[in-house]
Amino acid sequence: MLTLYRIALYFALPVVVIRLLYRTSRNKQYLTKISQRFGFNLLLPEVKNNPAKEDAYSDGIWIHAVSVGEVNAAVPLVKNLLASFPGKAITITTMTPTGSDRVRKVFGESVQHCYLPYDYPGAVKRFLNAVRPQLAMVMETEIWPNLINECHSRQIPMIYTNVRLSSRSHKGYLRFKKLFAPTLKKVSRFAVQAKADAERLINIGANADTVEVTGSIKFEMTLPASVTEAAQSVRRDLGWERPVWVAGSTHEGEESQVIDAYLKARKEIENLLLVLVPRHPERFSAVFKLAVGYGCETVLRSQSNTGIPQDTEIYVADTMGELTLLIAAGDVAFIGGSLVSIGGHNVLEACAAGVAVIFGPHMFNFQEISDLVLAKGAGIQVMDSDELCEVIVKLLNDPVIRDQYGSEGRELIEANKGALEKICAMVDRCGLI
């Protein structure tokens, strides 16, 4: 099956290139380091041209985090590894420019970043020859057969962390179990978020003795004092006296539902401000035009560094890496990807900020977490735009209930910490020196 997979990959190469060009047309940042997508020019110039630094990256730790969400989840793990293994260089790979930007913003020069190549045998070999990790760690569920097989053949331990496997993904992998079963058996350890994830992973071929339920590393968060202070500054710019609703990580087809709910809610909540934070930067302009098309007074965050006009109705955040900051500056938060069938996004940032959180019916990528949030009374699930409006009005009209949801969210975060400690124990068992 592996041979057939490789043949299929090469036949798919024109599609891969066309898809990359399409992404480039929507986001020019995809042109940056495009050669890395195929395993070339992986090391930074200051590392490549300095033998001492290049040697430092040998026998280091490599962590793969697809995009912004995975990078954010990896933050406590990376900080722990930097502190625990000061002599080990850490390389973080992503697949998106936004993920790359987030790595640089959070870690600066303390780690090396490059893009993970596509899963072609030659590209994978060039990648591992350049980075030469002693340990490989993958955030969540990115199963690349050639990469896993090459790590196994080089005796590089591989740990999959924060693994979640939705029912939909499970069914997809089952169709190709003959390919994935032998591949998964070559992974050293799996740290999965919930029992259901463990059962599905074992069902598609992972060895049961390599799978451990650790919980989600996304609970390992504490809102820094610097973010709290910055949020106060943002709120001052937005207006202390105005009720502020933040709608974050929204997708195409979702912003229109959010704006519909906003227009209805505004009839009952005087001076309501909607802060819209689209998930993907290539959609910033389209979302701005959509809001303007509704006849709303709309302002871009990038063009309003010191406050916004009082008549602003919709504030479009066309900046990266500020979602937690903006949520902390708001009164209530809606997390997108959930009114449309995307599968939802992480609601725990709102919980950590002590902000009442709302999400839609499509949370299959975060089912365990959303169930916990609902059971704890830290958030509210709505079915459509009308219900979203009702809940927004209810929460903004009742600060006592709103604060109760926020307090329960903070307690939920504290009660579910512990995944990081278990994952670090897995790393220790790999015998890094």
C-alpha pair distances (Å), 127 with each of 47, 121, 124? 15, 10, 5
Is 70 labeled as catalytic in the residue annotation?
yes
SS3 assignment, position 362: coil
3-state secondary structure of 29: helix
The string of DSSP letters for 274-312 reads: EEEEESSGGGHHHHHHHHHHTT--EEEGGG-SS---TT-
Closest by Cα among 96, 98, 169 to 367: 169
**Cβ contacts of residue 283 below 8 Å, gap of 6+?**
252
Helix (H) or strand (E) holding 20: helix 13-26
**CB 169 within 8 Å of CB 141:** yes
Q: Which helix (H) or strand (E) holds 7?
A: helix 2-11
Q: Are 115 and 87 in contact (CB under 8 A)?
A: no
Tell me the DSSP string of 377-395: TSEEE-SSHHHHHHHHHHH
Contacts of 237 (CB under 8 A, 6+ apart): 304, 306, 307, 308
Q: Is 90 helix (H, G, I), strand (E, B) or coil?
A: strand
* Most distant CA pair in the chain, distance: 66
Catalytic residue among 46, 54, 70, 349: 70
Tell me how far apart the alpha carbons of residues 217 and 213 are, in angstroms, rounded to a whole number: 11
SS3 (DSSP) at 72:
helix
In sequence order, which residues have a C-beta less than 8 Å from that of residue 122 and are 6 or more positions away? 39
Q: Which residues are catalytic?
A: 70
